Structure 1
């Protein structure tokens, strides 16, 4: 077989190029710190690394989402804490106003202070986050959720949903409660509340006052109302059946004896009883209903408005005094329920903040596992790489030396 000079040159050049390519590859690996620089270096490892890297990126995105969720929940908890302080302050003012030693001017001063608490609550209910969104409007967060509308009082214009945010692959977390949950709800264990007011919203014209209600059997308790007949020396009792009021059998003309001097009358209905005293007018009503139920929904702002109303107006006759006493008693019970509800919502927000801490810890461990897996797949063993780099250098130098020697050969050297 005859080997030409061209063949020897081509083989030597190819050998040097191969050695140089190998040296450049290992140099690139050392410079980048990665064993798999190109997918062709290790196709299987490169494919697995893409999947792990994507999972790690998703985990980091959820981490950013949790930062946003934590900010929203922290702000919510702070505002709810302020609302609970405002309710406590309002309750203290009502207790003070209930004292018989106060004059009308004293109560008017308390009403002025109560107005300030009321406006503070309304401002907190319309709080916004750092992006200008209203916290307590649900998903309708572009407009104030609570708006004053004349005689209707404060009206909620948000929706009944709680804004949610995905904080992990398997967790969609509420990050802001809606205004109904905070300001127009009561806890599930809230009891029954009495109110001296007619079904159409008009005030009673007599001076009947109430104490209670007292619960004697929770299972038999139900919403009811007492309506004084004409003449007002008898009354009827009606129960709410879920859709309408129906008269209780045998309770349509019950004699009323609570208008006698220094006397009162205890009226049992089902699993409850209420004590009445004073002189009624025909058509006056006393309602006893589950707080936050179908008959008497919860509304913190309405409670505050009613209390302010009776404190602003002088109680200069028996009817107004009875209205003041009944309204303050009802308002104080409503505030107790509202405070329990607000504290429950705050506890829920705090629990979600704690849950975020747990998810963060789990996510950190997951990120460490992904990082370790990626390192095992694509990172470089520097000891092995430097050793191979040195070997490639020797190979490159040997290839170059061989080419120089071959290039200098000629048949004239043997003639």
Structure 2
């Protein structure tokens, strides 16, 4: 069979190219340290590696979210810890203020300290995170959530939005607590209503006012506010917001629970003729509302117009302070619970990452001893092919004539 010069060169160049490609492939394996670089290296192993890499990439994303979620919840936990201390200080301050030996000047000084506590609490409620967004503003992170008004009240202009981050395949964790939930939705110590006493109150107080039977409570037919009027020590009449009588008795005794339209009200103290109070729906008392009430109570001074009513107000405000302190503690606990969940998930990811990395390594990592041996064999084969080509191309019949 005749082999033309062109065919000879073509065949040898193809063979040399294949040998050179084999050497280059071995160099890629050695330089990367990997046994499987593409699907053609090992189709089955390559498919498994894709799965490992996808899972590791997901864990990396979750770990980034975990760092952010951990920072945000740690900031909230610290904020509530500081708020807890402030409420404890307010409680001590308010108890100190209930001292008959204090003068107007003394009480005014204590009220000033109460305003300092209010200012510090506002700073906490308007805290910012590392991005400059307000922590307790719900979704309105660019808007200052709590604002002090001229009458010393505080308004909330945020919303009730809760932001979440995914820290695992099926686990979302909250990264904020909206301001209304954190500082406003404190359970009313009395229950579902707040009492407003008129100035001639002789010392009666509401210890409990709740909607005990929701199915019987009809605010449309008998709208609150409810007015309680004692025409004598035993005669009590209750009217609704429309003026209709909903309860009446001529045999009231101190401590009695008055029940009407699904509402139960427990009244303590010994009423006198003309004593009255109103009940308005109010199932929560905000932290800042309580602080303002405490400041206003101290600013009344040492000589209130009605000392008995002043003491009734004191008892209710102290209960609200205690409720506010418990609420802040609960919010702090919730942050702590989330931090614990985040820590647990972080450790789970670390364990999974170690397992996946080991599995990936077993499939993908190169056996350098075998790789170097294969590389040297490829080099020898290439060199042999090159030398053979050089020797053969120099052969000619004229060399033997």
Q: Structure 2 length normalisation: TM-score? A: 0.85
Report the equivalent of 1:261.
Answer: none
Taking the aligned partners of 2:359 and 2:185, their CA distance within structure 1 comes to 50
1:385 aligns to what SS in structure 2? helix
Tell me the CA shift for residue 231 of structure 1. Answer: 8.0
Tell me the CA shift for residue 51 of structure 1. Answer: 4.4
Report the equivalent of 2:163.
Answer: 163
Contact map agreement 2:159 2:178 (CA 8 A) in 1: yes
Taking the aligned partners of 1:255 and 1:4, their CA distance within structure 2 comes to 127
Matched, 1:236 2:237: yes
**Structure-to-structure mapping, 1:41-120, within 5 angstroms:** 41-120=41-120
Shift in CA distance, 280/89, structure 1 to aligned 2, threshold 3 Å: farther
Tell me the CA shift for residue 101 of structure 1. Answer: 3.1
Taking the aligned partners of 1:403 and 1:14, their CA distance within structure 2 comes to 12
User: Which region of structure 1 is more displaced relative to structure 2, 107-116 or 32-41?
Assistant: 32-41
Matched, 1:148 2:145: no
Report the equivalent of 1:12.
Answer: 12
Deviations 1:376-405, CA, capped at 9 Å, x for gaps: 443322122111111111211211221222
1:404 aligns to what SS in structure 2? helix
Contact map agreement 1:194 1:213 (CA 8 A) in 2: no
Tell me the CA shift for residue 299 of structure 1. Answer: 1.2
Structure 1 residue corresponding to 2:361, chosen from 371, 375, 381: 375
Shift in CA distance, 51/246, structure 1 to aligned 2, threshold 3 Å: farther
> Is there any run of 5+ residues in structure 2 with no aligned partner, and where?
218-223
Shift in CA distance, 3/192, structure 1 to aligned 2, threshold 3 Å: closer
2:132 aligns to what SS in structure 1? coil
> Is there any run of 5+ residues in structure 1 with no aligned partner, and where?
199-203, 257-264
Matched, 1:322 2:321: no
Report the equivalent of 1:267.
Answer: 256
Taking the aligned partners of 1:244 and 1:146, their CA distance within structure 2 comes to 35
Deviations 1:182-209, CA, capped at 9 Å, x for gaps: 2112369x664986525xxxxx221422
Taking the aligned partners of 1:19 and 1:350, their CA distance within structure 2 comes to 64
Deviations 1:233-288, CA, capped at 9 Å, x for gaps: 8432468xxx989744443x5668xxxxxxxx433325763322465646x3064x
Contact map agreement 1:196 1:327 (CA 8 A) in 2: no
Contact map agreement 2:192 2:211 (CA 8 A) in 1: no
Contact map agreement 1:193 1:330 (CA 8 A) in 2: no
Q: Structure 1 length normalisation: TM-score? A: 0.82
Matched, 1:213 2:210: no
Structure 2 residue corresponding to 1:308, chosen from 295, 301, 309: 295
Report the equivalent of 1:335.
Answer: 321
Contact map agreement 1:207 1:318 (CA 8 A) in 2: no
Shift in CA distance, 57/393, structure 1 to aligned 2, threshold 3 Å: same
